């Protein structure tokens, strides 16, 4: 009996070392659901810190406006918690947008470059800046620092490339 216990203990101990899970899988999973906008609207400096806070139980699951209702539902599913509507203090769900710099007004101050969490703005001091639209996450962090207010958030228009079939809506008619 004792020998068995020792053997099993040794096997478990070995397995714990051999098959150690790197990092925190829960944080990875939560981070995978978050939209990676890196906007900080949740009150944390990025999506990963927010994921960490959710995993630690410090933050609620309804603080991410870009993730929206769908994101909250997925988090609720993952964590086995109750769904709750988006908390108003962190912002509201908006259509996905990209930042557009009015290049005639830009003075080349580089403040937006420093604010962009995903390095999606190119430019240099006293040179015109511009946004790499496909890389922009629409976080709006570049809007506030601009001293000449030349950055606008433009909702992404529907084109042939991103058009989607709509959810079928059944017309309700009065039966004859």
Partner 1 sequence: MMRQLFGFRGGVKPDSHKNESTRLPVAKAPLPPLLTVPLRQNAGASPRVTVKAGDHVLKGQMIAAPEDGLSVALHAPTSGHVRAIEARAIAHPSGLTGTCVIIEPDGAERWVELEPLDAGQASPEQLRRRLRESGLVGMGGAAFPSYVKAAGTGIATLIINGAECEPWITCDDMLMRTRGEDIAGGAILLRELLGARKVLIGIEDNKPEAIAAMRAAAASAGSGLEVVAVPTRYPAGGEKQLIRALTGIEVPYGKLPSHFGVQCFNVGTAAAAHRAVSRGEPLISRLVTLTGNVAEPRNHEVAIGTPVNELIALARPKADTDRYLMGGPMMGFALPDLAVPVAKATNCIIAASPALFPAPAPEMPCIRCGACAQACPAELAPYELYWFARSQNLGKCQEYHLFDCIECGCCAFVCPSRIRLVDYYRYAKSAIRAREKDKLAADHARERYEFRLAREEREKQEKAAKLAAKAAETKAKLAQAPASGESAPAGEGDAKKALIEAAMAKAREQAAPALNTDVQKMTAEQQAQVAAAEARHAAAATAATAETAAVAKDA
65 CB neighbour count, 10 Å cutoff: 20
CB of 54 to partner 1, least distance (A): 16
- Verify binding: residue 97, partner 1, rule CB under 8 A: no
Q: What is the DSSP string of 149-171?
A: --EEEEEPPP-TTT--PPPP-PP
Rule CB under 8 A: say whether 125 interacts with partner 1.
no
Question: Is 119 one of the binding residues for partner 1 (CB under 8 A)?
Answer: yes
Measured from the CB atom, the residue of 9 and 123 that comes closer to partner 1 is 123
Q: Which residues of 133-150 are buried (b: 16+ CB within 10 A; e: fewer)?
A: eeebbbbbbbeeebeeeb
Applying CB under 8 A, among 4, 57, 147, 168 the residue interacting with partner 1 is 168
Q: Does 46 bind partner 1 (CB under 8 A)?
A: yes
State the Cα–Cα distance between residues 162 and 164, nearest whole angstrom: 6
Binding site for partner 1 (CB under 8 A): 31, 34-38, 46-48, 117-120, 134-135, 137, 158-160, 162-168, 170, 173, 175
């Amino acid at each position: 009996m004792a020998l068995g216990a020792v053997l099993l203990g040794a096997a478990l101990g070995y397995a714990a070392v051999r098959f150690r899970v790197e990092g925190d899988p829960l944080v990875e999973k939560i981070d995978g659901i978050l939209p990676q906008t890196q906007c900080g609207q949740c009150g944390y400096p990025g999506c990963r810190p927010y994921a960490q806070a959710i995993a630690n139980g410090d933050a609620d699951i309804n603080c991410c406006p870009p993730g929206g209702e769908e994101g909250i539902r997925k988090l609720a599913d993952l964590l086995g918690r109750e769904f709750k509507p988006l908390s108003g203090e962190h912002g509201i769900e908006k259509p996905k947008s990209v930042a557009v710099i009015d290049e005639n007004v830009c003075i080349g101050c580089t403040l937006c470059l420093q604010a962009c969490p995903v390095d999606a703005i190119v430019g240099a001091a006293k040179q015109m800046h511009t946004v790499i639209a496909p890389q922009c996450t629409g976080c709006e962090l570049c809007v506030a620092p601009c001293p000449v207010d030349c950055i606008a958030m433009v909702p992404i228009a529907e084109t042939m490339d991103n058009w989607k079939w709509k959810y079928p809506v059944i017309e309700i008619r009065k039966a004859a």
